[in-house]
Chain A
Amino acid sequence: MAEVQYGWPVNHKARLIGKRVSRVDGHEKSTGTAKYTYDINLPKQLIVRALGCPHARCTVVGVDMSEAEKVPGVVLVHYLKAPKPGDDPVEIHADGTLLMAVAAETEAAAAEGVSKLEVIYRPGEPFVADHDLEAAESKQRTKKAGGGIELDEVLGEPGEEDDEEEWEEKTLQLLFDQSRYVVEGRYGIDAITHCCLEPHGSTLHWEGDRLKVHLSTQNVSRTDDGFADALKITADEVDVHCDYIGGGFGSKFRPDYWGVAAAEIAKKTGRPVKFLLTRDQELKIGGNRPSGFIDVRLGADENGVVQVWDSHHWGSSGFNGSTISVGNFPYVFRPKNWRRRATGIITDNEPSVAWRAPNHPQACALTQTAYDDLAAKMKADSLDIFLRNLENIDSSEKAIVYAEQLRIAADLIGWRKHWHLHGRGRKRGAVVEGLGIGIHKWGGTANSSNCLLKIHPDGGVESYCGTQDLGTGTRTVCAIVLAETLGLGIDAVKVNIGSSTHPFSGASGGSTTVGAVSESHRRAAQDALAQIFVLVANKLDVPVERLEASNGSITVVGYSDKAMSWKQACSLIGIQPLEVTSNYKRGSDSPLSSSNVAGCQMAHVAVDTDTGVVKIIKMVAVQDMGLVINRKTAESQIYGALIMSIAAALFEQRINDPKTGVFINSELDNYRLPRLGDTGNLVVHIHEPATERVKGVIGLGEPPAISGGAAISNAVCNATGVRVPTLPLTPKRVLDALRIAKG
């Protein structure tokens, strides 16, 4: 049999790919019958609740569990991070760290048990001022986090007598002296939490020596090893399942220590266990995105093209003390001369984990606000300044794509109609309006993925793949690819995902899943179809290359009388089902997927200068993503990303009490997220020129979640003529900035 040539159908021939297909599991999700980890109820299960440390920094000396054990319904009290009798005291560096767990017959009994635990704490001195570099330095809470410099070769090199750093400093100063415009600013963005609506956790049980875990995870195929390692068994003794996950956003890749504890409790008690974090714990330890603050100086020529960038940023990813990756600065834009430095700050908070487009939203906001301030300083149109600076970006081949996207976005938001110079808009009462831009990039390489495809002699089709549906509509993507390839309706294929017993598929992180499953499912379907075509060609006595699968039939180009139904074709397989396993390895060259997208977002806002309230009038997202598999869910991803950007730009922030260090807004009544009425008019445009479509599938999850914050901040600055330096732009921050600007 000839080698299968993998590829996608040309645009006009696609029946399902690129079309608007409803989720195959939409009915289950919208009628409450989809079962998430939290929803799995196992016979005789115990419910576990944990005690979170109420201090940001302390020493836990010991625990008296005697009263907790007496609570009716409590079955077991289990040590988490607290010291066992005889152990040394334990240092705690994050509010919410789980100290003890209580397993009980009901949620209420478990909670009551937790309330009866007596813990002896020795208070420590917390440090949480992640914005305050000077304070961090004085308390020796800083860590160098890298840096670098690049200067145009025309500037020469330091001489043998020169001190290299002094020469660089002098050269940079020379560049700034030569600049027509110099902008200096300090910008910031606070830490936020993942706030998954389904908290982290598991429902699990042992079957003999085999651990069966329902885990709320983005990593179905590869958390078994984490459990196995911690429990001193082997990964083949752990099965992980996740049919549905209630949000992850980058925070659910591991079993976590409470997952391992659930398995230990189940082992000790001989009963199934359900252990999910409370809301407060989910916000405190379930995952957070690091903060970032930056001092920037940039110099531009008379056209507003930045020639030199010099920045130092800091921030905190918690008690491990790292910060946003320095390599991301300046973001997208890359002038010929730049220096960047970074300092990590060690705070008493849970370390951050990956958050949708790790590092990018912060780097974007911290860079492109400064570029917009350049436009303000020049009394120029921000759109012109962004366009002109496309001559110096880090992926020069994308400049033409960005330019086109900016033009499309400008049309969609009405840039020419609504633009005014910064702070020069018409005031209606206390309300002023403004426009802002952000541009972003992302890789989105497909992850590794394997698919087992079974085609039964009766025409039935089923697939198995250890991937997961994070909310992007993975099942539907798998179904579309299989149905398109086999020429069937979407209901004719049964997609099975969400189990580590299925063939391996990579974790859903970094916009890698749609590419991954498109690769493995397209390959499997093309491989299987090639085998069926051989059988059909022999039977019909036609050349195999003339066969096509469409509309439930195998047809023969040029032989209109020689078609065969799908069912008839499958009957040729024989008694056993045809089984094909096809693989894609991340990074291998493929005509089906690739990487690197561009995108831009624009915001039109209204600012009430009396109250400081910012409202979104309209936001536009223009995004390329290579080949679109499911237009409906792709658009949903972008809408959702815009709304998450609005959340981080205007509403959400982790607030630590400066004295006690405690995370004080860890419930949803005060951890503010936008509601239905808060998002304004959102417009999504998928930018798919032929040059991008031919690249195949490129991941979409992260990129549209990046530049909205910069766009909103820039729009507020355009409206008011005043930079509100730190996101989120809360009413207080807006009013403070306006007051300071007034003097």
Chain B
Amino acid sequence: MSQKSSKGVSRRMFLTSSGAAAAASAVTASPEAEAAAPGLQVVSGETSITLRVNGKSMKAKVEPRTTLLDVLRYQFDLTGAKPVSVDGSSGASTVLVDSRPVLASTVLALSVVGKEVMTCESLADDAVPRAFVEYDAQQCGFCTPGFVVAVRAFLNRHPSATEEQILAGLNGNICRCGTYANILQAVISLVKGNKNG
């Protein structure tokens, strides 16, 4: 895997630096910082940033340790992504960052500055939640937004997925109520009906 991101920030450097600085500071490359001095910037304390979320620019006050999930939920009141597990092993906080599924509970808000964040709320008119309703792929519904985003990301990459691919490709999310059979049917219907939106 490449160590370079599109912003020229080495993943290794980011991790090393943020690890060395513990929770007090992190290293990132904000658009503002890049304009002045391309490369890395040490950030500590509370900072104002602008995030692109669901196509809108939104201002947030964050510390280096602030997760994307906390910003979405507490500052933007976008509560579709859920805090189920700190390590992301439930998939309930799945959002899209530059079209890739990421776990908002494990991503620092500062690291997504300049990127396009899409949450479940942006999929209001999408075929995926419609199929979830049609196939009743939800019970208590707490895991559902994370699943919906994961399915959207999966279908973007595999619009003609086979059942085997579906069964192998959506194992990052947990549903405790047991809606997997319904989710499987919903995804199959999207593939078969070519209703990928």
Q: Take A471-B177, A643-B181 as given contacts and tell me if A30 and B133 are in contact as well, using a CB distance cutoff of 8 Å.
A: yes
CB–CB A639/B182 < 8 A: yes
Residue of A32, A106, A278, A643 touching B81 (CB-CB under 8 A): A32
Q: Take A30-B132, A108-B65, A247-B177 as given contacts and tell me if A667 and B87 are in contact as well, using a CB distance cutoff of 8 Å.
A: yes
A107 at the interface (CB under 8 A from B): yes
CB–CB A112/B140 < 8 A: no
Stretch from B10-18, B26-34, B35-43, B115-123 that touches the partner: B115-123
Q: In whole angstroms, what is the CA distance A249 to B177 when docked?
A: 9
CB–CB B174/A278 < 8 A: no
Residue of A31, A38, A112, A641 touching B83 (CB-CB under 8 A): A38
Q: Take A31-B124, A32-B81, A636-B139 as given contacts and tell me if A197 and B70 are in contact as well, using a CB distance cutoff of 8 Å.
A: no
Q: Enumerate chain B residues within 8 angstroms of A633, measured Cβ to Cβ.
A: 136
Binary contact track A196-218/B, C-beta < 8 Å → 1, others 0: 11100000000000000000000
Binary contact track A569-586/B, C-beta < 8 Å → 1, others 0: 000000000000000000
CB–CB A470/B140 < 8 A: yes
B binding-site residues for A, Cβ under 8 Å: 23, 63, 65-66, 70, 73-74, 77-87, 89-90, 92, 119-121, 123-124, 128-129, 132-134, 136-145, 148, 166-168, 170-184
CB–CB B138/A197 < 8 A: no
How many A-B residue pairs lie within 8 Å, measured between CB atoms? 183
Q: Take A31-B129, A41-B77, A667-B89 as given contacts and tell me if A246 and B178 are in contact as well, using a CB distance cutoff of 8 Å.
A: no
A binding-site residues for B, Cβ under 8 Å: 22-23, 26-27, 29-36, 38-39, 41, 106-108, 112, 195-198, 244-249, 278-279, 470-473, 632-633, 635-637, 639-644, 647, 667-669, 673-679, 682
16 cross-chain CB contacts under 8 A: A23-B138, A27-B124, A31-B120, A33-B124, A108-B70, A112-B23, A196-B176, A246-B142, A279-B86, A471-B140, A473-B136, A640-B179, A668-B89, A669-B89, A673-B174, A674-B180
Q: In whole angstroms, what is the CA distance A332 to B184 when docked?
A: 34
CB–CB A471/B63 < 8 A: no
The 8 closest A-B pairs by CB, nearest first: A32-B80, A643-B178, A246-B142, A640-B178, A29-B141, A471-B139, A471-B140, A39-B79
Q: Enumerate chain A residues within 8 angstroms of B129, measured Cβ to Cβ.
A: 27, 30-31
Q: In whole angstroms, what is the CA distance A673 to B92 when docked?
A: 14
Q: Take A675-B171, A676-B183 as given contacts and tell me if A30 and B77 are in contact as well, using a CB distance cutoff of 8 Å.
A: no
- Beyond the given pairs A38-B79, A642-B181, A676-B184, 19 more chain A to chain B contacts, judged by CB atoms under 8 angstroms and listed by A's residue number, are A26-B138, A29-B138, A33-B80, A39-B79, A41-B74, A41-B77, A197-B143, A247-B177, A632-B136, A636-B139, A639-B182, A640-B139, A640-B177, A667-B85, A667-B89, A668-B84, A675-B171, A675-B174, A678-B171
Which of B23, B65, B144, B170 is most buried by chain A, counting CB atoms within 10 A of its CB? B144
Q: Enumerate chain B residues within 8 angstroms of A30, measured Cβ to Cβ.
A: 128-129, 132-133, 137-138, 141, 144-145, 148
CB–CB B78/A32 < 8 A: yes
Q: In whole angstroms, what is the CA distance A31 to B66 when docked?
A: 24
CB–CB B142/A26 < 8 A: no
Q: Enumerate chain B residues within 8 angstroms of A674, measured Cβ to Cβ.
A: 180
Prevailing SS type, chain B contact patch: loop
Q: In whole angstroms, what is the CA distance A673 to B167 when docked?
A: 15
Q: Enumerate chain A residues within 8 angstroms of B79, measured Cβ to Cβ.
A: 32, 35-36, 38-39, 41
- Closest beta carbon of chain B to A336's beta carbon, Å: 38
Q: Take A108-B63, A679-B180, A682-B181 as given contacts and tell me if A32 and B120 are in contact as well, using a CB distance cutoff of 8 Å.
A: yes
- Closest beta carbon of chain A to B49's beta carbon, Å: 15
- Closest beta carbon of chain B to A30's beta carbon, Å: 4
CB–CB A197/B123 < 8 A: no
Q: Take A197-B140, A246-B140, A279-B85 as given contacts and tell me if A31 and B80 are in contact as well, using a CB distance cutoff of 8 Å.
A: yes
Q: Enumerate chain A residues within 8 angstroms of B173, measured Cβ to Cβ.
A: 675-676
Q: In whole angstroms, what is the CA distance A279 to B167 when docked?
A: 26
CB–CB B85/A32 < 8 A: no
Residue of B nearest to A109 (CB): B63
Q: In whole angstroms, what is the CA distance A119 to B135 when docked?
A: 51
- Closest beta carbon of chain B to A642's beta carbon, Å: 7
Q: Take A30-B145, A640-B179, A676-B180 as given contacts and tell me if A246 and B85 are in contact as well, using a CB distance cutoff of 8 Å.
A: no
Q: Enumerate chain A residues within 8 angstroms of B74, measured Cβ to Cβ.
A: 41, 106-107
CB–CB A247/B182 < 8 A: no
Q: Enumerate chain A residues within 8 angstroms of B141, measured Cβ to Cβ.
A: 29-30, 34, 244, 246, 471
CB–CB A36/B142 < 8 A: yes
Residue of A nearest to B45 (CB): A72
CB–CB A29/B167 < 8 A: no
Q: Enumerate chain B residues within 8 angstroms of A636, measured Cβ to Cβ.
A: 136, 139, 179, 182
- Closest beta carbon of chain B to A722's beta carbon, Å: 28
Q: In whole angstroms, what is the CA distance A640 to B148 when docked?
A: 18
CB–CB B82/A246 < 8 A: yes
Q: Enumerate chain B residues within 8 angstroms of A22, measured Cβ to Cβ.
A: 133-134, 136
Q: In whole angstroms, what is the CA distance A45 to B53 when docked?
A: 24
Q: Enumerate chain B residues within 8 angstroms of A639, measured Cβ to Cβ.
A: 178-182
Q: Enumerate chain B residues within 8 angstroms of A643, measured Cβ to Cβ.
A: 175, 178-181
Q: Enumerate chain A residues within 8 angstroms of B133, measured Cβ to Cβ.
A: 22-23, 26-27, 30
Residue of B70, B87, B140, B168 touching A247 (CB-CB under 8 A): B140
Q: Enumerate chain B residues within 8 angstroms of A637, measured Cβ to Cβ.
A: 139
CB–CB B85/A676 < 8 A: no
Q: Enumerate chain A residues within 8 angstroms of B23, measured Cβ to Cβ.
A: 112
Q: In whole angstroms, what is the CA distance A687 to B107 when docked?
A: 48
CB–CB B85/A669 < 8 A: yes
- Closest beta carbon of chain B to A218's beta carbon, Å: 11
Residue of B82, B167, B174 touching A198 (CB-CB under 8 A): B82
CB–CB A198/B140 < 8 A: yes
Residue of A nearest to B164 (CB): A677
Q: In whole angstroms, what is the CA distance A640 to B176 when docked?
A: 8
- Closest beta carbon of chain A to B82's beta carbon, Å: 7
Q: Enumerate chain A residues within 8 angstroms of B138, measured Cβ to Cβ.
A: 23, 26, 29-30, 471
Residue of A nearest to B81 (CB): A32
CB–CB B73/A197 < 8 A: no
Q: Enumerate chain B residues within 8 angstroms of A246, measured Cβ to Cβ.
A: 82, 140-142
Residue of B nearest to A684 (CB): B181
- Closest beta carbon of chain B to A504's beta carbon, Å: 23
Q: In whole angstroms, what is the CA distance A198 to B181 when docked?
A: 21
Q: In whole angstroms, what is the CA distance A195 to B142 when docked?
A: 12
Q: Enumerate chain A residues within 8 angstroms of B175, measured Cβ to Cβ.
A: 197, 643
Residue of A nearest to B146 (CB): A32
Q: Enumerate chain A residues within 8 angstroms of B176, measured Cβ to Cβ.
A: 195-197, 247, 249, 644, 673
Q: Take A33-B121, A112-B23, A642-B178 as given contacts and tell me if A278 and B144 are in contact as well, using a CB distance cutoff of 8 Å.
A: no
Q: Enumerate chain A residues within 8 angstroms of B136, measured Cβ to Cβ.
A: 22-23, 26, 473, 632-633, 635-636
